[in-house]
């Protein structure tokens, strides 16, 4: 497929109000499930404090986004080939530099992401947990925001705080919720309803339950083995949920007015919002 005929790359931010909810595992296994559906997927590690994608997949990156920013190499040079043809951008060490870039570095980084457009159907951005500036920046730059929550009072409260901040400061109105590590479907639905009711009662937002992923010991086993769960345990009970998740993402119709292309994402990522149109709400 040529770039002329290819739809713009979709950018999905996977985030959470607090750590320990399984966010990075969600990102990795969603990427693998989408790859199984013949999507070209790039996974960007945007977790400043705990860059875990390379650890969970037993990869050893030699360079990261900081080397691209400094002009030592191109973006394509730092991308690591992961399992099932997903590609990894080990970006965490470079993100801290984003607010200090020169005009030339800004232009170079935007161009680098623009070149990624042709080879990527979906870019999944695995953010840090919480309310840091980097989390807010990546979520506001993405076309779709996925909030990962588990059945823990702190997770629910912190997810609400994140939704409130993104809505108040960046006018994001629609959020996709991923309920993780629950024992039953009913527990997952009840958890989502708690978050939805408080969010929609006090904020002008809409929450959609994207998927419920059950607690699965094989996910923990895969973490210990530093192997991807999705390909290592194909008969495990959570696999069906990831397949459903990928199908939902794949079949989602995007608004024609949604900001597309990785150029937009890169400009938002490095804080060049003033020169851009307002972000479309999808």
Residue 12: the pLDDT is 97
pLDDT at 279 over 50: no
Is 1 contained in some domain? no
Q: Above 70 in pLDDT, residue 4? A: no
Task: Judge whether 2 lies within some domain.
Answer: no
Residue 210 covered by a domain: yes
- The residue written with tokens 């030592």 in the block is 72
Does the structure show a pLDDT above 60 at 135?
A: yes
From residue 269, alpha-carbon distances to 17, 61, 154 in Å are 20, 22, 28
Q: At residue 132, does pLDDT exceed 80?
A: yes
Judge whether 276 lies within some domain.
Answer: no
180, 147 Cβ separation under 8 angstroms: no
Give a yes or no: residue 21 inside a domain. yes
| Mean pLDDT score across all residues of the chain | 88
Query: Is the predicted pLDDT of residue 131 greater than 70, yes or no?
Result: yes
CATH number, position 102: 3.40.50.300
Rounded to whole angstroms, how far apart are CA atoms 26 and 84? Answer: 16
Tell whether the model's pLDDT for residue 192 goes beyond 90: yes
**70: number of CA atoms within 13 Å, CB side?**
12
- N-to-C CA span, the chain: 25
Query: What's the confidence (pLDDT) of residue 280?
Result: 35
Per-residue pLDDT reduced to its tens digit, 169-187 = 999 999 999 999 999 999 9
Predicted pLDDT at 115: 85
pLDDT at 66 over 90: no
Buried b (16+ CB within 10 A) or exposed e, 213-246: bbbbebbeebbeeebbbbbebeebebbebbbebb
Phi/psi of residue 166, each to 5°? -65, -35
Domain contains 282 = no
Q: CB 141: neighbour CB atoms within 10 A?
A: 23
The phi-psi region of residue 75 (left if phi > 0; otherwise alpha if psi is between -120 and 50; otherwise beta) is alpha
* In-domain check, residue 278: no
Alpha-carbon distance of 47 to 154, in angstroms, equals 20
**What is the distance between the alpha carbons of residues 52 and 48, in angstroms, rounded to a whole number?**
10
Banded model confidence at residue 93, pLDDT cuts 50, 70, 90: low
Question: Both tokens of residue 69?
Answer: 């920013």
Q: How many domains does the chain have?
A: 1
| Closest of 206, 186, 188 to residue 196, by C-alpha | 206
CA 103 to chain CA mean position, Å: 27
- Residue-level pLDDT at 2: 46
Is 58 part of a structural domain of the chain?
Answer: yes
Whether 49 has a pLDDT exceeding 70, the answer reads no
pLDDT at position 281 is: 32
Residue 271 predicted with pLDDT over 80: no
Helix (H, G, I), strand (E, B), or coil: what is residue 261? helix
Written as six digits, the tokens of 118 are 């042709």
Domain that holds residue 55: 11-268
Helices (H), 117-214: 133-141, 153-170, 185-202
Lowest mean pLDDT among 61-65, 67-71, 154-158: 67-71
Q: Which residue has the higher pLDDT, 24 or 95?
A: 24
């Amino acid at each position: 497929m040529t770039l002329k005929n290819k739809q713009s790359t979709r950018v999905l931010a996977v985030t959470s109000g607090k750590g320990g909810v399984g966010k990075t595992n969600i990102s990795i296994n969603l990427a693998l499930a989408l790859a199984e559906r013949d999507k070209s997927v790039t996974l960007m590690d945007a977790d400043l404090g705990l860059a875990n994608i390379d650890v969970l997949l037993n990869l050893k990156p030699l360079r990261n986004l900081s080397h691209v920013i400094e002009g030592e190499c191109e973006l394509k040079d730092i991308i690591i080939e992961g399992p099932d043809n997903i590609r990894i951008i080990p970006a965490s060490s470079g993100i801290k530099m984003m607010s200090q870039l020169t005009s030339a570095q800004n232009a170079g980084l935007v161009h680098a992401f623009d070149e990624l457009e042709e080879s990527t159907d979906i870019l999944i951005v695995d953010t840090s947990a919480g309310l840091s500036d980097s989390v807010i920046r990546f979520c506001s730059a993405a076309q779709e925001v996925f909030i990962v929550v588990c059945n823990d009072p702190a997770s629910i409260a912190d997810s609400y705080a994140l939704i409130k901040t993104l809505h108040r400061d960046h006018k994001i109105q629609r959020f996709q919720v991923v309920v993780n590590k629950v024992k039953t479907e009913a527990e997952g639905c009840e958890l989502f309803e708690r978050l939805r009711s408080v969010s929609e009662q006090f904020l002008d937002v809409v929450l959609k339950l994207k998927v419920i992923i059950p607690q699965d010991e094989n996910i923990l086993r895969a973490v210990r083995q530093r192997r991807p769960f999705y390909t290592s345990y194909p008969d495990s009970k959570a696999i069906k949920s990831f397949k459903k998740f990928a199908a939902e993402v794949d079949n989602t119709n995007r608004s024609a007015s949604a900001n597309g292309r990785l150029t937009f994402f890169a400009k938002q990522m490095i804080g060049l919002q003033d020169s851009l149109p307002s972000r479309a709400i999808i």
